[in-house]
């Protein structure tokens, strides 16, 4: 079947894996990747598919209504997979308005244009909104986030994502826009921008720089290999029920400090350093403001209804990830030059 899909944020971490999967797996689909190429967007992530006949890149901002209108007019999309966002919690604490603009206004702009273009012939159309488990707030030591967990966002980032989720659901109920949503836990893997914990730690260990751990390193995250997330998005896009939310997670909880010790061990092995060398770089720094204690997803619905489950054990995925970063030094060097230096100064030297 032929389809024309708009994927937003396809030059970012998760988006690039989603674009690759759809371009390679569905040669009959025309995939249009719309991305503003902010500091987090990088076309180097897509070098392997950039010349495929079913792939087009369009540089543009999701808050630019006229541009979105023109793209819908030009391509007559029948599906949208919306990933473009400001995605880093620490940056949202520094500059909340940028998050409100892209995550709330940008999502609402896309919804509105899709509604106008699909009005009266919604059959076969789908607006898929990619969201996060952070909208559910913070767990104590027990329990898991299910699709019924009430929203309780606690950072500007999660508040903006929660707001965007509400708009998506409002467009479903009010205008019958065909939508589906997913809320996923922490991803890791190749092409992850090194402001996030795992790639930042790999980069710093490689350069024998301090590895900053917030607070006591007691916070817990549920980690999922990014290619498993992309597979889940493929499954939900094709088989998810309209108006539904699907939680996606790895059933893989790690305390930050334990994760960093595992990473240090893998790095020592890969860099042929004496055991314990990298762990000496661990440096406890001032905690993140409003730091959520624990996230953990119950992905039973996605598993029982649509048959998805994670494919990789964490140790194996982390080792693959480290190997990718060590084999792709140019990618890492390119993204950590320039503006990254200023961000790093602002975020860590204040402590
Ligand atoms: P990312 O920051 O790596 O990439 C975001 C992409 O969006 C970049 O390519 C950027 O250039 C683009 N973008 C930003 N603002 C834009 C705008 N105004 N117009 C057009 N493009 C714009 O993010 P990511 O980690 O790949 O996350 C992708 C999506 O998945 C986000 O919606 C995020 O909330 C969600 N999510 C991420 C995780 C995770 O662990 N990283 C987990 C669950 C959900
Ligand atoms: O849960 C899904 C979310 O996961 C996504 O929606 C976000 O887009 C994504 O960035 C991620 O958010 P986190 O805040 O959990 O990820 P981050 O990598 O920034 O931090 C992971 C944990 O590590 C968190 O408890 C904070 C801690 N941390 C982070 C950094 C950058 C440190 O201890 N030191 C650091 O330098």
Reported as a pLDDT band with limits 50, 70 and 90, residue 1 is: confident
Q: Which domains does the chain have, with CATH numbers?
A: 3-188+224-251+292-311+338-348 (3.40.50.720)
How much distance in Å is there from the Cα of 65 to the middle of ligand 2? 31
pLDDT exceeds cutoff 60 at 351 = no
pLDDT tens-digit readout, 198-215:
999 999 999 999 999 999
Alpha helix positions (H), the chain: 13-25, 65-75, 89-94, 96-99, 107-118, 156-175, 197-206, 226-239, 256-270, 300-306, 314-327, 329-335, 339-348
Q: What is the DSSP letter of 332?
A: H
Rounded Cα distance between 260 and 202, Å, is 9
> Does the pLDDT of residue 314 top 60, yes or no?
yes
Q: Is 340 a catalytic residue?
A: no
Angle at 324 between CA 276 and CA 32, to 5 degrees: 145
Average the pLDDT over 160-176 and give the result: 98
Mean pLDDT of the 213-241 span: 98
* Average pLDDT in the chain: 97
Ligand 1 center to 163 CA (angstroms): 16
Residue 338 confidence (pLDDT):
82
Active site residue 136: no
pLDDT of 280 reads: 98
- For residue 350, name the pLDDT band (cuts at 50, 70, 90): low
Instruction: Based on the residue annotation, tell me whether 175 is a catalytic residue of this protein.
Output: no
């Amino acid at each position: 079947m032929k389809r024309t899909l708009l994927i937003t944020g396809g030059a970012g971490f998760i988006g690039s894996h989603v674009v690759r999967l759809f371009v390679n797996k569905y040669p009959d689909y025309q995939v249009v990747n719309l991305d503003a190429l902010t500091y987090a967007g990088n076309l180097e992530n897509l070098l392997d598919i950039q010349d495929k006949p079913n792939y087009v890149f369009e540089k543009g901002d999701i808050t630019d209504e006229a541009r979105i209108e023109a793209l819908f007019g030009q391509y007559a999309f029948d599906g949208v997979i919306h990933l473009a966002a400001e995605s880093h919690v620490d940056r949202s604490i520094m500059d909340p308005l940028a998050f409100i603009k892209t995550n709330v206004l940008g999502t609402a702009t896309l919804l509105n244009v899709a509604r106008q273009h699909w009005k009266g012939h919604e059959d076969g159309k789908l607006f898929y909104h990619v969201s996060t488990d952070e909208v559910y707030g913070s767990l104590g030591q027990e329990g898991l986030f299910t699709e019924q967990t009430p929203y309780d966002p606690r950072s500007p980032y999660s508040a903006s994502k929660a707001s965007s989720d509400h708009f998506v659901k409002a467009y479903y109920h009010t205008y019958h826009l065909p939508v589906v949503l997913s809320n996923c836990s922490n991803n890791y893997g190749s092409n992850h921008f090194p402001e996030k914990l795992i790639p930042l730690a790999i980069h710093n260990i490689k350069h024998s720089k301090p590895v900053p751990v917030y607070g006591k390193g007691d916070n817990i995250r549920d980690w999922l290999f990014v290619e498993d997330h992309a597979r889940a998005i493929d499954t939900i896009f094709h088989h998810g029920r309209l108006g539904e939310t699907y939680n996606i997670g790895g059933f893989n909880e790690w305390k930050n400090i334990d994760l960093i010790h595992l990473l240090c061990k893998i790095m020592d092995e890969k860099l042929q350093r004496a055991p314990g060398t990298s762990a000496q770089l661990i440096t406890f720094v001032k905690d993140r403001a409003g730091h959520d204690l624990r996230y953990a997803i119950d992905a039973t619905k996605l598993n029982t209804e649509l048959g998805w489950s994670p494919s990789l054990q964490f140790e194996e995925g982390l080792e693959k990830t480290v190997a990718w970063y060590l084999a792709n030094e140019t990618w890492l060097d390119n993204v950590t030059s320039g503006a990254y230096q200023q961000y790093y100064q602002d975020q860590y030297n204040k402590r």
